[in-house]
Amino acid sequence: MYMGSGGAPEGVLAASALKCMGGQMYGRLLFRNDDERGRARKAGITDLNRIYSRDEMVTQDVIFAATGVTDGSIVSGIRRDGKFIETETILMRSKTGSVRRLFYRLKAG
């Protein structure tokens, strides 16, 4: 289980990854001030307290890709090996449930 707060774009990215992995998520918009509430209303959001499910945030099949910049629990960060740069990317597709890991070794300079 994960709980946290962040921006709406980050929430949709998290929902996309979870859709690819078969996970679930619920989210609600949190507003810091009246300006943010006004921007939400202008964008067509009428129920400011609505709780959105994963499938309401991500309505179609998605492909999710993440490349590590720093080390994390899912992918390694960028590494330098002599004259080479190494990266790791995870690529997931919700339609097929496929998960791929891509390792790149690029010559630097």
Distance between CA atoms of residues 5 and 61, nearest Å: 25
What confidence tens digit (pLDDT) does each residue in 52-68 have? 999 999 999 999 999 99
Distance between CA atoms of residues 14 and 62, nearest Å: 12
Q: What is the pTM of this model?
A: 0.81
Chain centroid to CA 62: 11
Q: What is the pLDDT of residue 2?
A: 66
Q: Is the dihedral of CA 47, 64, 98, 21 positive or negative?
A: negative
What confidence tens digit (pLDDT) does each residue in 9-51 have? 888 999 999 999 999 999 999 999 999 999 999 999 999 999 9
Distance between CA atoms of residues 98 and 96, nearest Å: 5
